[in-house]
């Protein structure tokens, strides 16, 4: 911490300072380790399971799977990108027609103002969505994950107003 004060204009609690730039992780290994640790702490994991229906209730959310099993939760996070659209009643992502100059294997949807939608959706109480579309989706997923974590902990951050669904 002492060395960091000399190098940076902001407070640093911990980190890795690298002259070569970035770091990388194996996403599969990281995810499986994260799931294994969460299972040790009591998480139930349902692999290869698709949620067919989401039913908000006063005491939480009831999820019905594609094989007709039910999962009850206090809160639900929906952070599946373009797939999240099917859970809301609003046409918030627009795929516009463009002339093809170059081809690549990817299509980006955009919101009307190029900002993501992050937070609780009015039509789905106790369900929190992170819909970071467009070329900045990865960046928005980091911002959104932080904001949603705080929201679940009961700390509603003012930045959520920028990303609200009714803007």
Residues 115, 125 contacting (CB under 8 angstroms): no
Reply yes or no on whether the pLDDT at 65 is more than 60: yes
Which pLDDT score, from 0 to 100, does residue 11 have?
A: 79
**DSSP 3-state assignment of 26?**
coil
pLDDT, mean of residues 65-78: 92
CA distance 133 to 114: 8
For 65-116, the DSSP string reads ETTS-EEEES-EEE--GGGGGGGSSS---B------SS--S----B-TTS--
The pLDDT assigned to 97 comes to 52
pLDDT at 27: 86
Q: How far apart are CA 111 and CA 117, in angstroms?
A: 8
Q: For the segment 76-133, what is each residue's pLDDT rounded down to a tens digit?
A: 998 877 777 777 776 666 655 555 555 555 556 777 888 888 998 888 899 998 887 7
Question: What pLDDT band is residue 34 in, cutting at 50, 70 and 90?
Answer: very high
How far apart, in whole angstroms, are the C-alpha atoms of residue 116 and residue 97?
21
pTM tops 0.75:
no
The distance from CA 158 to its chain's CA centroid, rounded to whole angstroms, is 18
* pLDDT value, residue 134: 67
Round the average pLDDT of the chain to a whole number and report it: 83
Average pLDDT over residues 45-52: 87
Question: How confident is the model over 146-164, as pLDDT tens digits?
Answer: 999 999 999 999 999 999 9
| Residue 95: predicted pLDDT | 53
% of the chain beyond a pLDDT of 90: 36
| Residue 17: half-sphere exposure toward Cβ, Cα within 13 Å | 10
Mean pLDDT throughout 52-57? 92
């Amino acid at each position: 911490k002492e060395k960091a004060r000399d190098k940076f204009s902001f407070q640093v609690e911990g980190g890795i300072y690298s002259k070569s730039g970035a770091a990388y992780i194996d996403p599969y290994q990281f995810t499986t380790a994260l799931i294994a640790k969460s299972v040790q702490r009591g998480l139930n994991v349902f692999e290869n399971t698709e949620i067919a229906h989401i039913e908000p209730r006063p005491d939480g959310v009831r999820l019905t799977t594609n094989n007709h099993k039910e999962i009850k939760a206090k809160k639900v996070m929906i952070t599946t990108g373009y797939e999240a659209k099917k859970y809301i009643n609003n046409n918030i992502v627009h795929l516009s027609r463009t002339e093809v100059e170059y081809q690549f294997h990817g299509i980006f949807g955009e919101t009307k103002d190029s900002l993501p939608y992050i937070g609780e959706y009015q039509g789905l109480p106790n369900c929190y969505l992170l819909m970071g579309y467009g070329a900045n989706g990865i960046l928005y997923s980091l911002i959104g994950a932080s904001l949603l974590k705080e929201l679940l902990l009961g700390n509603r951050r003012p930045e959520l107003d920028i990303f609200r669904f009714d803007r």
